[in-house]
Amino acid sequence: MMKILANDGISAVGQQKLEAAGFVVETQTIPQDKLAAYINENNVAVLLVRSATTARKELIDACPGLRFIGRGGVGMDNIDVAYAREKGLTVANTPASSSQSVAELVMAHLYSLARQSYDANRHMPAKGHADFNSLKKKYAKGVELRGKTLGIIGFGRIGKAVAQYALGSGMKVICADVFDVDTKVGFIVEGFGKVEVDVAKVDMETIIRESDAISIHVPKQKDGSAVIGKTELAKMKKGAFIVNAARGGVVEESALIEALNSGHIAGAALDVFDNEPTPSEAILSHPKIALTPHVGAATLEAQDRIGEELADLIMAEMTPA
């Protein structure tokens, strides 16, 4: 029977679907340096990864029995996709399954930045009992998102999902994308029906200059460069917010710290980091940065959708025998 190694895990729904179809699904996590040997010794034909495991040229060359690499999520920068396909492997991901989950986390961060609730939650346990009034004064200068301009860099599935929530919150939304994307955003308002908005597509300079908050949804750049660096941060509105739930490195972390320290940028929220899984201590300890540990797609609903979509992709390409 064909073996599948879900090295970064798979939802119970996805596993059950594959096993019901006759596949053998293994979910233990094999260390990267031992992965090739495990695949070969156990005749693994399908490797499923998330963001922790990589499938580079060396692994692909070392595992001639590997036939399918699946990525649970959007980006595939941890897989040498073109090389794998040249070698005859099928490579697939699940770009639609986690969009809503990432978008909801972005909005949670935006609200948290606007009201400084992330910072209040740090200080209330230690100081709330003895110093309540001073904390009340400290956090009494929040702002509202309604009426503010959100600039979305990268207007694919996740960018559009963020736009849905932001529009529903009364924000003005503008977007920028290097591709010729459809800028129409439709969503259902309960009790009313479908609403469709044509979001204005502008250039990067306009996004940087006019946004009260920026959310980034682009892959890691091939040359490793930042999309938002020192120059872009300096051009942003004083008091603006920035959220990165895309990939570590698309915001230059050292430049971000400088902009936060100067007061030019009011706050930032990061779900992704340089040097994961060991982010910079300067980033993790900064009082103006809201933090989550790369969990944008990690909702129960998204994991179920990802697992089911991966199962469907495998079943469409492979037979269990």
Instruction: Read off the pLDDT of residues 162-207 as tens digits, 9 standing for 90 and up.
Output: 999 999 999 999 999 999 999 999 999 999 999 999 999 999 999 9
CATH number listed for the domain at residues 3-97+300-317:
3.40.50.720
DSSP β-bridge partners for residue 79? 55
CA–CA distance, 184 with 181 (Å, rounded to integer): 9
Percentage of the chain with pLDDT > 90?
93
Whether residue 123 lies in the annotated active site: no
Burial 212-223 (b: 16+ CB within 10 A, else e): bbbbbbbebeee
Q: Residue written as tokens 């005749």?
A: 43
Catalytic residue chosen out of the listed positions 50, 71, 109, 294: 294
Instruction: Give the length of the chain.
Output: 321
What mean pLDDT do residues 299-312 have? Answer: 96
CB 184 within 8 A of CB 161: no
> How far, in whole angstroms, is CA 235 from its chain's centroid?
25
Instruction: Read off the pLDDT of residues 211-236 as tens digits, 9 standing for 90 and up.
Output: 999 999 998 888 889 999 999 999 99
The answer for 248, left when phi > 0, alpha when psi is -120 to 50, beta otherwise, is beta
CA–CA distance, 210 with 173 (Å, rounded to integer): 11
For 37, other C-beta atoms within 10 Å of its C-beta total 12
Residue among 43, 46, 49 at smallest CA distance from 9: 49
Residue among 285, 291, 295 at smallest CA distance from 109: 291
Classified as helix, coil or strand, 290 is: strand
What mean pLDDT do residues 62-84 have? Answer: 94
Structure tokens at 165: 């929530």
Architecture of 99-291 per CATH?
Answer: 3-Layer(aba) Sandwich (3.40)
pLDDT above 90 for 289: yes
Of the pLDDT bands very low, low, confident and very high (cuts 50, 70, 90), residue 131 is: very high
User: What is residue 316's predicted lDDT score, i.e. its pLDDT?
Assistant: 95
Domains 3-97+300-317 and 99-291 share a fold: yes
DSSP β-bridge partners for residue 26? 5
Catalytic residue chosen out of the listed positions 157, 247, 286, 305: 247
**Would you kindly state where each structural domain of the chain is located, as residue ranges?**
3-97+300-317, 99-291
Peptide bond into 287 cis (omega under 30): no
pLDDT above 80 for 321: no
DSSP assigned state of 179: S
Catalytic residue chosen out of the listed positions 19, 104, 210, 276: 276
Whether residue 122 lies in the annotated active site: no
Structure tokens at 4: 């599948």
Structure tokens at 211: 């946004």
User: What is residue 320's predicted lDDT score, i.e. its pLDDT?
Assistant: 87
Whether residue 276 lies in the annotated active site: yes
What mean pLDDT do residues 75-101 have? Answer: 94
Of the pLDDT bands very low, low, confident and very high (cuts 50, 70, 90), residue 51 is: confident
User: What is residue 224's predicted lDDT score, i.e. its pLDDT?
Assistant: 86
Q: What pTM was computed for the model? A: 0.90
Instruction: Read off the pLDDT of residues 234-254 as tens digits, 9 standing for 90 and up.
Output: 999 999 999 999 999 999 999
What mean pLDDT do residues 78-89 have? Answer: 97
DSSP β-bridge partners for residue 251? 228
CA–CA distance, 6 with 170 (Å, rounded to integer): 41
